Chain A
């Protein structure tokens, strides 16, 4: 696995750079501003990865401690947010060994193939065509969160970064040190897995 090479890039614009330069120039009292910008996001990312609230807090704390320690080494070659998530993702992965929640297994595409194409419904089910706001309920949101937790970690990391945090394929690849192709494969399987879970939810209505 090689990190994508991104040499000779154009200069990156990032709203955080100014603040980071100030902190690195000695204005340590501005570090809390950086924390404020990201603690909410990081907390939710960590909750999705660790599930347990205390573990999520530990992860956020360790991540910011690492950011504080290594901010001097930040090269302004990537957006700060991407660098931050790289630190957070590796903190989560290290923590995994202590987690009781993450089932480690491979998802293969076969398990999601329709058994037989003649068994696939020949109509789009209601849940897939109803307006989103009519469909959303607290129960459904709980169901989605629950389903995300049941994904094996390596798939969960990818779908959380892509579909929840909104990173692009290339950014996700960079954060996780994977190839773009690998990110796409994992994302597709993760989505198919969730689709199965949701399908089950609606069919049991």
Chain B
């Protein structure tokens, strides 16, 4: 690992916490630490931005409609269940 710019051990430590950072699950000290670091470290800034975008994209994953046939079949199956369900 090159030492010319700065010690990247800290990068690796922060790398583990980037999701918690995005999810607001870190305490204030840890947040400040990351915010300070990414101002000075472009690779970590890039990691964080690409991770954030990945989460955004994931949240857009599309949903399909339930097939009507299946919905009907499900209704029938459940209607034919015994009406006094066994306890436990």
* Cα distance A68–B8 in the bound complex, in angstroms: 55
Q: Enumerate chain A interface residues (CB-CB to B < 8 A).
A: 28, 31-32, 35, 39-40, 43-44, 47-48, 53, 57, 60-61, 64-65, 68-73, 109, 113-114, 116-118, 120-125, 127-129, 132, 135-136, 140-141, 144-145, 148, 159, 163-164, 169, 184, 187-188, 191-192, 194-195, 198-199
CB pair A57 B70 closer than 8 Å: yes
CB pair B58 A159 closer than 8 Å: yes
CB pair A116 B78 closer than 8 Å: no
A191 CB to nearest chain B CB (Å): 6
B70 CB to nearest chain A CB (Å): 5
B57 CB to nearest chain A CB (Å): 6
CB pair B58 A163 closer than 8 Å: yes
- Further pairs besides A32-B75, A144-B58, A163-B58: 15, Cβ < 8 Å: A40-B65, A60-B70, A70-B88, A72-B87, A113-B15, A120-B43, A120-B46, A121-B43, A127-B53, A129-B53, A140-B57, A184-B19, A188-B16, A195-B54, A198-B57
